[in-house]
Amino acid sequence: MKYFVLKVMAAEAGFIEEYPRGSPTDWKFDKGISLAREFPMGGEVSFSDNYPDDRNLYDFQPNLMSDLLVSGRARKLIESLEVTNAEWLPVVVKDHKGNVVGKDYAFLNLQGAEDAIDMERSVYRMDPIEKDQIGRIKKLALKPATINPQAKIFRCTMERRLILIREDVHAAFVQAGLTGFKVYDAEGWNGLEL
C-alpha cells in the first residue's frame, strides 16, 4: 500500500485565518481528540482581509491553521469511503463582506493517530516545545507494517499535524475532481511543499 502526504493549497483561495469565535484553544485541533462538545454550533469563518483579492472556494479550503476545512462535496466522498476516524465540525464560510459563500463546510478533525513514521530511517528534528513531536522532517520514511490496514486518512503519532492518505483515497479524490489539495509521495518526502 502506498501513502501520500496531504497538503491543502490552492491559488487565489479565500484564505481563512482563524477558527469560529468560541472554538476550543488552537492547539487542541492538532491533538486528534474529539472537539465536538467544545466546538460552537453554527460557527462561522471568513476570508481574510489581508488577501482582499483572493476569493476562490475549493473542496479543501486553505487556512492559516493548516487544518482540513472541507466542502460538503468532499465530506460526502470521504464519508462514502467509510473513513471511521472522522469527526466533522460544521461551519459556514463567509467572504470579506460577510456574505455566505459556503454553507456546507466543516473542519475534518481526524481522531487518533497511526505509528506510521520510521524514526530510525527518517531524517528529522524534534520540536523544541512539544518534545514528543517532530518539528521538521527532512526525509520521511514509513513503517507500513505498523499502520492499521483500515486507516485511510490519518495523523501520525510522532507528527500529529502531518496527514497521510492511502493511495485508494487519493485516487478517489482525483476521480471526483476534488480541488484545493496537493499530495507528495510519503516515502522519501523532504518536508517541503512545492
Q: Indicate if 135 and 166 belong to the same structural domain.
A: yes
Domain boundary among 83, 110, 137: 110
Res 136: pLDDT: 96
Question: Looking at the predicted structure, is the pLDDT value of residue 194 above 90?
Answer: no
Domain boundary among 51, 83, 110: 110
Q: Residue 165 sits in which domain range?
A: 123-185
Q: Indicate if 173 and 82 belong to the same structural domain.
A: no
Q: Indicate if 20 and 80 belong to the same structural domain.
A: yes
Res 34: pLDDT: 97
Residues 20/45, Cβ–Cβ less than 8 Å: yes
Scored b (16 or more CB within 10 A) or e, 109-120 reads bbeebbebbbee
Number of domains forming the structure of the chain: 2
Q: Indicate if 85 and 173 belong to the same structural domain.
A: no
Q: Indicate if 106 and 133 belong to the same structural domain.
A: no
pLDDT tens digits for 49-106?
A: 999 999 999 999 999 998 999 999 999 999 999 999 999 999 999 999 999 999 999 9
Residues 175/131, Cβ–Cβ less than 8 Å: no
Residue 1 maps to a domain: no
Q: How many CB atoms lie within 10 A of CB 169?
A: 20
Q: Indicate if 93 and 19 belong to the same structural domain.
A: yes
Q: Indicate if 164 and 94 belong to the same structural domain.
A: no
Q: Indicate if 129 and 102 belong to the same structural domain.
A: no
Q: Indicate if 127 and 66 belong to the same structural domain.
A: no
Q: CB within 8 A of 170, min separation 6: which ones?
A: 4, 183
- Measured distance CA(61)–CA(107) in Å, rounded: 10
pLDDT tens digits for 103-159?
A: 999 999 999 999 999 999 999 999 999 999 999 999 999 999 999 999 999 999 999
Residue 20 maps to a domain: yes
Residue 116 maps to a domain: no
pLDDT tens digits for 3-18?
A: 999 999 999 999 999 9
pTM for this predicted structure: 0.95
Give the end-to-end CA distance of the chain in Å, rounded to a whole number: 24
Residue 38 maps to a domain: yes
Res 193: pLDDT: 79
Residue 166 maps to a domain: yes
